[in-house]
Structure 1
């Protein structure tokens, strides 16, 4: 069977377009590779020690696991677990208070940093303040401001975490406000509502689910930050962990790390479930009941 070729315009010949040049991409990749190689050479690191790292790490893991596998009901292991759990709860308190401080202060600042709410001059000033706060780690706030004023203890850690949380939560809140549906806002304005009434009844209900989810996520981050600040003497689980590393008490270090990991996983699971319910909503009661009564399919 013969194929039919489409007719060509008289006097014209088909020429394929030239292939795009990859010279620029190739030069860029070679430049990045060269910079990386120079960084490795100029780092002046003891690279042979890197080969010893797995064996050393495995030895430390074995020593810490021995402490975790001891009977938690016998002395002195029960004291290790009890003390670690008490300090972990203190770290949770520090993270929770810091998150509350950040949430309370960042919520109004988020409206002042939103372009669809505040004047342009106010937006620029507030956003620069939030950027400056966000650029400074909480450990700097603790060392430079909170610890000299309030001394060693959980109060300094909670305040440092709270101030640092303002920068991130304020930025996320302003972005949530700027992305709201304008329909309810225009309807409220058309009905004669004042500016504050528009914010209260048309904006706040839209942004609250997303903002609360941000607060919960920041709480998870602050739990880890509170453990780090404890090394500086700001209370919490980090204080005992720093002392244990100084004396190389690997069995107690294993127990302490186990408490941190277990509590953090529990908090992450609970917080993630709450965030999912806030954002996506709960399933209707009939759907939940059908899911509960429907048997799981057998594994394949």
Structure 2
């Protein structure tokens, strides 16, 4: 730098922002520490209790399937019967997630076109986006308890409908953002050729939109499996029904089997879904390289 050149100004210091962030975190921690119903005296017992419960759950997973549990509410059942029941209920959870995902995909896809700024006027966008935000803000378990169980009763259809309605909000939000971010050049080309609004959507928007959208659907299916696993607690179907038994009878061996089944099935579905998503987004050659 020559002697007469202007000196580059120093960047503003970052420590004030860091100090403010640390202060806010400290305030949150102090507020949590001061909760009246928090029994902090039990905190030193936490590691020992975790090891105790983990040991009991591990016994349920590692015990020979033909063995009979001791001191349980159903002594005639073997550990193998517990595994079969957990697998059956986990299959029900997967079915609930699949039905809910199909419901969400079926309704969210056309509604997203009514909510995107590039395909709908503002007086249509506003109510549809409000609808997406409203149903996305309510958890699946509240939808099941407040709305679906009174309508469908204590059966898995209540859980499937709760998952489906919640999926409409989430998938609709992702799809409309995908619509708004597509390449406008194909749309301009078909417009210049005299295409109508529907022809523009069918030939220039949907082909760009569909691969990413299907990947969203598959990802949502994975999320819905995790959500469906808890709906059985409120008698809406799925493996969560076993949680009531675990907590009521203190049968932690059941809890271990339930967690093992959930983890195994979720990993398998995640791997399969990831492979399908990669094939959709990147094609067969990229899938072979990725595998």
TM-score, normalization: structure 1? 0.86
The alignment partner of 2:234 has SS state of coil
> What is the aligned counterpart of 2:56 among 56, 63, 81?
63
The alignment partner of 2:236 has SS state of coil
Inter-CA distance 52–199: structure 2 relative to 1 (3 Å threshold): same
Q: 1:1-41, CA deviations, whole angstroms, 9 ceiling, x for partnerless residues? A: xxxx95559xxxx8885774667436624641552353144
> What is the aligned counterpart of 1:131 among 127, 130, 133?
133
Q: 1:168-226, CA deviations, whole angstroms, 9 ceiling, x for partnerless residues? A: 10010001111111121112112222211111111111111100000011111111111
Partner of 2:34: 42
Partner of 2:17: 25
Q: Which runs of 5+ in 2 are unaligned?
A: 69-77
Residue correspondence of structure 1 range 44-193 to structure 2 within 5 A: 44=36, 45-74=38-67, 76-193=78-195
- Residue range with higher mean Cα deviation, 30-39 or 98-107: 30-39
Inter-CA distance 118–72: structure 2 relative to 1 (3 Å threshold): same
Q: Assess if the C-alpha contact under 8 Å between 2:279 and 2:286 holds in 1.
A: no
- Residue range with higher mean Cα deviation, 156-165 or 243-252: 243-252
TM-score, normalization: structure 2? 0.89
Q: Assess if the C-alpha contact under 8 Å between 2:98 and 2:221 holds in 1.
A: yes
Partner of 1:225: 227
Name the count of aligned residue pairs.
281
Larger radius of gyration: 1
Q: 1:118-140, CA deviations, whole angstroms, 9 ceiling, x for partnerless residues? A: 11111112111111111111111
Aligned-residue CA RMSD in angstroms?
2.5
> What is the aligned counterpart of 1:241 among 215, 237, 243?
243
Q: Which runs of 5+ in 1 are unaligned?
A: 293-300
The alignment partner of 2:284 has SS state of coil
CA deviation after TM superposition for structure 1 residue 52, in Å: 1.1
Inter-CA distance 149–17: structure 2 relative to 1 (3 Å threshold): closer
